[in-house]
Structure 1
Amino acid sequence: MSDSPHDAAILAAWLRNAAPWEAAVREQRIESRRLVTDHAIVAAVKEAAPRYVLDLGCGEGWLARALAAEGIAVTGVDAVPALVEAARQQGDGPFHVVAYEQLAAGVPGGPFDTVVCNFALLGEQSVEQVFAALPGLLVAGGRFIVQTLHPLVACGEAPYRDGWREGSWSGIDGDFVDAPPWYFRTLESWVVLFVRYGLALEALCEPVHPATQRPASVILVSKCRRDS
């Protein structure tokens, strides 16, 4: 586990809230996902034309199932056993319990031509662990696709600089408790993170919410610079 108490608090909160989260996703209670971001990440992955995808932080497996329906082979991993079990019950693909600090040892079925993280990069040190593990998870020239909160919108009234923020389950119906903290990164910091770990950005997309006309998320598509 990460040495950071904030990163540890993220995992602890998801362990406690696995059941209400699975229900919220299954019943499509999250408006931004239903209207914008679910379709956006599926489209971004399909655009990369992958054959073997690692859904990193797969949760209850909705994205893996959506991609499998498009004929794409998907392996899902998550650190929360209850969510992995829900994914196994709803889908036929392989799902494994793997924490981010374990990724450096590899994932069954890898390496992959595409790794996707859909709203699954919430920490500080734990996110660095994901990026550091990518060379062992991706084939040469493989793609890493991330969808995350759009920094401009997620910043709110707080100063626009990197740092830990309090979490909230606001806007999601369910018996949630103890929202996890999350580490805010500016758009510049996200780009620097990709470059520092040898990833070449190929695209940056900003899916817009049809009601608010503001970005619902940001999607960063990158390519591993290794040629062999």
Structure 2
Amino acid sequence: MTIDLSAERQIIDSWHQNARAWSVAISEQQIASRQQVTNRSIIDAVVSRSARKVLDIGSGEGWLTRELTARGMDVLGVDVVPAFIERSQTQGVGRFELASYAEIAAGKLGEKFDLAVANFSLFGNESVTDLFRSIPSLLNDGGTFIVQTLHPLVACGDFPYSDGWRASSWAGFSDDFTDPAPWYFRTVATWVELFTTHGFTIAEIREPLHPQTDKPAAAIFIGVLH
């Protein structure tokens, strides 16, 4: 797939179109891997850093923001999709703000955090690189950036193990989902490089295993600002 800015646009357009279906899937616990593994894995990763103030990047319908808020953290969830933010704000738990990654990079939030987390919310190429570039300015000294993403070795499938745009599908989801967006595949080495070239030391890489397959359900990168 050709790398261009239109792919970045398709990602956002797809989430605008599928916001309602995604919110239903989360609220009805339709995604087995999240219920069995990855929801708990990202909560545990954040809790392990003892942060008081947290930025949830690409917060979607807000489940992680609410979970962390319930554990006594001051959490701001941000997303580019108005329907997600509107739904989140009706739940009455956590703070939420509409913002694109470009707006975050431009300083729209106007506050700093002990920890930023991106839970399965980094799908692009240029947009993700730009976000990484801005994260240090959003963190307090010694702050942490945590990313949970598809495990590269598992998500690679039969394709070559090299960076590049990939097509996706909504296979396994309800028929309410339409127009799947492309996503940018990164190797483990490339993820590590994103952290290290933007001021972070990799403190830990976690690989939560799926209980049925014993294969990694995700990869969690924990970077500490130095």
> Normalised by the size of structure 1, how large is the TM-score?
0.95
Q: Aligned pair 1:10/2:18, yes or no?
A: no
CA distance in 2 between counterparts of 1:20 and 1:128 reads 28
- Segment of structure 1 superposing worse, 116-125 or 84-93: 84-93
Q: Secondary structure at the match of 2:213?
A: coil
1:51-92 deviation per Cα after TM superposition (whole angstroms, max 9, x unaligned):
000000000000001111111110010000101111111133
Question: Separation in 2 of the partners of 1:90 and 1:62?
Answer: 10
The 2-side partners of 1:151 and 1:181 are apart by: 16
SS of 2:148 mapped into structure 1: strand
Structure 1: 4+ residue segments shifted above 6 A: none
Alignment partner of 1:17: what SS? helix
- The alpha carbon displacement at 1:109 in A equals 6.1
**2:86 corresponding residue in structure 1:** 85
Matched with 1:104 is 105
Deviation at 1:136, TM superposition (A): 1.8
Partner of 2:20: 19
* Separation (CA, whole Å) in 2 of partners of 1:19 and 1:34: 19
Q: Is the 8 A contact 2:142 2:225 kept in 1?
A: yes
How many angstroms apart in 2 are the aligned matches of 1:110 and 1:138?
9
Show the counterpart of 1:198.
Answer: 199
Q: Percent identity?
A: 48
- Matches of 2:122 and 2:205 in 1, distance apart? 17
Q: Does 1:157 align with 2:164?
A: no
The answer for the alignment partner of 2:115 in structure 1 is 114
Give the equivalent residue in structure 2 for 1:181: 182
Residue 135 of structure 2 corresponds to residue 134 of structure 1: yes
Residue type of the alignment partner of 2:130? Q
State how far apart, in whole Å, the 2-side matches of 1:197 and 1:46 are: 23
1:2-55 CA distance string (max 9 Å, x none): x71111110011001100000001111001001000000000000000000000
Shift of 1:174: 4.5
Instruction: Name the count of aligned residue pairs.
Output: 223
1:53 aligns with 2:54: yes
Q: Classify the secondary structure of the residue corresponding to 1:40.
A: helix
Structure 1 runs not aligned, ≥5 long? none
**Structure 2 gaps, min length 5:** none
1:41–1:118 contact (8 Å) kept in structure 2 = yes
Specify the code of the residue in structure 1 equivalent to 2:200: L
Local SS of the residue matching 1:54: strand
Do structure 1's residue 63 and structure 2's residue 36 form an aligned pair? no
